[in-house]
Amino acid sequence: MMAPVDYIRDPNEIYRRSFEAVAVETDISGIPPEGVPLTHRIVHACGMPEITRDLRMTNHAITAGRNALHAGAVILADCNMVASGIIRDRLPNDNAIICTLNDARPKPGNTRSAAAVDAWNQHLENAVVAIGNAPTALFRLLEILQDGAPKPAVILGFPVGFVGAAESKEALTLSNLEIDFITLLGRRGGSAIAAAAVNALSSDNVI
């Protein structure tokens, strides 16, 4: 029989200690002051303070994302895991969360995630885009934006994986689309991080 384990049971104390540890262990040098709460939240989501060295955000990404959400912007998620991770009660304007993945019908040689992005056109203008799974979704988003699709307010680009993830995020940073973005260079990313970024933009609190 396993010996009894002493652990913290109070959720508020767990929350407080978690973000206290995040603040102590996370190097925020180079992160703009308005980006610190978001940085802390994504570090909390993945448990890796070291990711900050690969975090990139445009100068006005935080402001653009917050303003868009307060104005009622739609949130476009590349997968259901991202959509499910968004804390709806904290959204400032009962913002709609749209994920078109289950409706996508890809053509041969294309992914369902990329096909789902093609259904975003009517929702893209001033939207908050959160990509936490598929590199092909980010690649396709960049393609349709280059072709003249309406511009979102901010792109939260956190696709994860060994094929295309690093390349898609590099393409985002080099795109010159004049769209604000937040991304994590390299292979790391994921739905939890993308959702955490949305949750940070939704909240006026420090954490």
Q: How does pLDDT run across 142-183, given as a tens digit for each residue?
A: 999 999 999 999 999 999 999 999 999 999 999 999 999 999
* Residue 56: strand, helix, or coil: strand
- Checking if the pLDDT of 108 tops 70, the result is yes
Q: Please, which pLDDT band fits residue 204 given cuts at 50, 70 and 90?
A: low
What is the average pLDDT score of the chain?
93
Judged against a pLDDT cut of 60, whether residue 207 lies above it is answered with: no
Q: Check: CB of residue 45 under 8 Å from CB of residue 195.
A: yes
pLDDT of the residue at 206 = 41
Tell me if residue 44 is catalytic: yes
CATH topology of domain 54-202: Rossmann fold (3.40.50)
- Considering the candidates 44, 60, 70, 123, report the single residue annotated as catalytic: 44
Q: Whole-model pTM?
A: 0.93
Residue 168 to residue 142: CA distance in whole angstroms: 9
Map out the domains of the chain as residue ranges.
54-202
- Mean per-residue pLDDT, 91-103: 93
User: Confidence class of residue 110 from pLDDT cuts 50, 70 and 90?
Assistant: confident
Alpha carbon distance 89, 18 (integer Å): 21
The rounded distance, in Å, linking the Cα atoms of 136 and 78 is 10
